[in-house]
Amino acid sequence: MATTKHKPVMDTSVGEAARTPVDYVWAVARISIGWVFLWAFLDKTFGWGFATPAERAWIAGGSPTTGFLKGTGENALGGFFSSLAGQAWVDWLFMAGLLGIGAALILGVELRIAAVAGTAMLLMMWAAELPLANNPFMDDHIIYSIVLIGLALAGAGTTLGLGNLPIVQRSPWLK
């Protein structure tokens, strides 16, 4: 199979490499998945009524993990995950993860950390649902994990993100 080179769609004058269409596709994917994580944080925090009613919002004393984790009781690993439901440290870790991963992806920094943390979070959510109702093993948690890893490997933070900032380029942990 032959590979083709994409022509840059624009040249920048501040030392940035020329961007290709695929760079923009990765950037839009990065921002979109970042929004999925950030939105989950916001809705669970403030209870805007999309997935979380106002009375179950985190700021109203609700637990952001109880609904999902309590519903795993009959699943293969349900006993383990149900025991975590509603514990303050689990709620704080989960919410910090949603906020941190979402912000990192949207801003285009710390993509390596976001990919590892996001993949770990998504794989735990996947495991909590086993066995899956519609497929032996594949679901959106796995797909998002694969895309997160691809974003980090592609250096997707440099297009439409802060990944080109000198401090980010000098610090491997910020990439």
What tens-digit pLDDT sequence spans the chain (175 residues)? 555 455 444 444 344 568 899 999 999 999 999 999 999 999 999 999 999 999 999 999 999 999 899 888 888 898 999 999 999 999 999 999 999 999 999 999 999 999 999 999 999 999 999 999 899 999 999 999 999 999 999 999 999 999 999 999 898 888 8
Tell me, yes or no, if the pTM score tops 0.75: yes
How many domains in the chain? Answer: 1
* Residue 164 forms part of a structural domain: yes
* Residue 11 forms part of a structural domain: no
Q: What is the pLDDT of residue 74?
A: 85
* Residue 25 forms part of a structural domain: no
Q: What is the pLDDT of residue 33?
A: 98
Q: Tokens 């989950």 map to which residue? A: 40
Q: What is the pLDDT of residue 3?
A: 53
Q: What is the pLDDT of residue 48?
A: 95
* Residue 1 forms part of a structural domain: no
* Residue 24 forms part of a structural domain: no
Question: Which range marks the domain in which residue 77 is found?
Answer: 30-174
Q: What is the pLDDT of residue 16?
A: 55
* Residue 57 forms part of a structural domain: yes
Q: What is the pLDDT of residue 14?
A: 41
Q: Are 159 and 19 in contact (CB under 8 A)?
A: yes
Q: What is the pLDDT of residue 12?
A: 45
* Residue 20 forms part of a structural domain: no
